[in-house]
Amino acid sequence: MNTSIDITDLFIMAGIEHKGRVQITHEDMSGLEPHPKNDWLYLGLLSLKEIAKREGVFIRSSAFIGSGNGIETIAALKLFPNLETIFITDLVKNIQPAIIKNITANANEELKGIRTYCLEGRDCSPLSEPVDLIYGNLPLIMIDQREIEKHRLSLTTLTDEQMYMHLSQGPYDMLTRWSLLSQLGFLLSAKEKLAPGGSILTFIGGRIPYYAIEQCFRRAGVGYRKLFTSFKRQSDGQFFKQYAEYETKEGVDFAFYDYKEAVEILRQKLGIIAPEIIVDIEDADLKILLAPTLISANKAYENYQKGMSVGHIAHAFEAWND
């Protein structure tokens, strides 16, 4: 496969000056949603810009975990003028050269003089030294690795459950039931590799209760704050299927929404045209507001198969060593 994607609109919408394209040449490289603000990378670039406004000149090293296509690294090279070291990691074998090619095609001048390591490995384990900024937008749904390999499922939406089950506190563990163990694993690994005063950027869907997200940060022993919240359209069929199967297995109800109805409520009640950033409302109040449009993951998968649009809440967080 070889797909060329224009990233100019994404950068412009995030307030970053850059025009360019990336090439998707590997089946496990992540693409881009048709509307850039529906993509997790939009929240990612906004978060990088937020850190840059506050700490930009102090960020000398950064790591991009599970990079996928290199877009977030390109943004960081545009935003942090004093970068000296970059780590770019991914689990997928042989994907690193394609990621580096995208980065050099868009930020070759900015890369000059920067120590750049493109490594294979899980979470922050490949990092050989502490860094000032760690960025990771990783899949939450855990599944048996044999199923991933058998059905050639994408690692952009799934992760190997056996790598994180040792973190579980038992079958009734909140983080197990809501498939947050992989997020916990990432935070624990990032905590070990974070330089003093550094920040972790991570992204979690509001498909799970906010109290479970809070418990995840507490278990990791990190401080945290929510940077951005948006309501985005989801278009990945495999994503719905795996959430539906996990929902059935664990007996939980993930929070998805009828997209058209939810968007209209946001417009009428908050004056927000999705997928614009949602401000001035707490997560619990937002979910109450959208409750009339709430559907489970199984219903979301069913609606997707019928060609109906499905949405969910998305959060960007900053964390740090407590």
Residues 136-145 have pLDDT tens digits of 988 788 777 7
Peptide bond into 36 cis (omega under 30): no
Q: Are 203 and 45 in contact (CB under 8 A)?
A: no
Against a cut of 0.85, is the pTM above it?
yes
Least confident span in 161-165, 195-199, 291-295: 161-165
What's the pLDDT tens digit per position in 119-136? 988 999 999 999 999 999
The distance from CA 86 to its chain's CA centroid, rounded to whole angstroms, is 19
* The one-letter amino acid at 190: A
Task: State mean pLDDT over 72-88.
Answer: 97
* The one-letter amino acid at 89: T
What's the pLDDT tens digit per position in 149-187? 655 656 666 788 888 999 999 888 999 999 999 999 999
What's the pLDDT tens digit per position in 263-275? 999 999 999 999 9
pLDDT of 127: 96
- Under DSSP, is residue 179 helix (H, G, I), strand (E, B) or coil? coil
- Strand 21-24 versus strand 3-6 pairing type: antiparallel
**Do you know the residue count of the chain?**
322
Answer yes or no: is pLDDT of 308 > 90: yes
3-state secondary structure 31-66: CCCCCHHHCHHHHHHHHHHHHHHHHHHHCCEEEEEC
